Amino acid sequence: MKTPENNLETAISFSASAMVPTRHGDWEMSTFHDAQGVEHVCLTHGEVQDAEAVLCRFHSACMTGEIFGSSRCDCGEQLEAAFHRIQQAGRGVIVYLAQEGRGIGLTNKLRAYDVQNRGYDTVDANRALGLPDDLRSYDSANAILNLLGVKSVRLMTNNPDKLRSVREAGLLSEREPHLQPVGDLAQRYVRTKQHRMGHLNEGASDARPLFLTEFNSLLSAS
């Protein structure tokens, strides 16, 4: 772990770490606290210090999707895919940020879910409650990468805000598209992220989600 050298790095502090065996191999799990005392988690696999073009995922916490298996979003599938891709690559970083519900918290997220159950999409549900579309920041994630000594990353994301943040931090090597197959309930969520929040797909010119039936067809043809 590097000693903090600039304002970005001093905005985050290392707290603890341990090797954790998982179904995706052994990962070093570390906790960090930001200037507001919020705890974030970083998982590294393989050697990443002083490395270029490290496979990386910035992932915001989603209790509903990742722990309880909600089929309304693709968050659990995206996290699982990040673990698998990094394991296959032999090294990489997952920064797991405490930003539930795109930063509005679990209670407000459930309120928004209740509105979505009446036919609103995820953006309009937030707005109906007087909540912002997206409160997330990725400064802490970039600071963690700096403390780890990572030189640059191949960022697994479809989110242009994440790309912009990493590029401005001088850490972006390239984007790795991270589209996952989605079930029926998540199709509208993926469409909304693409059409109303500018999210990308497998290519910058591809403006529609890949649905589960299409994904399975591609697998069968390969």
Q: Letter for the amino acid at 28?
A: E
| Catalytic hit among 57, 102, 136, 154 | 136
Q: Retrieve residue 130's tokens.
A: 């007087």
Q: Is 136 annotated in the active site?
A: yes
Question: What are residue 14's DSSP bridge partners?
Answer: 32
Whether 139 is catalytic: no
143, two tokens: 């600071």
DSSP string, 122-172: HHHHHHHTT--S-----HHHHHHHHHHT---EEEE-S-HHHHHHHHHTT-E
Residue from 109, 108, 93 nearest 32 by CA = 93
DSSP state of 205: T
* Catalytic residue selected from 57, 134, 154, 175: 134
Q: Quickly tell me which residue has 């998540």 as its tokens.
A: 186
Task: Scan for tokens 């299409």, then name that residue.
Answer: 214
Chain centre to alpha carbon of residue 137: 11
Candidates 189, 191, 184, 183; CA nearest to 209 is 191
Taking the alpha carbons at both ends of the chain, their separation in whole angstroms is 42
Give the CA distances from residue 179 to residues 14, 84, 127, 217, in Å, rounded to whole numbers and listed in that order. 31, 14, 26, 16
Q: Hey, which residues are catalytic here? A: 134, 136
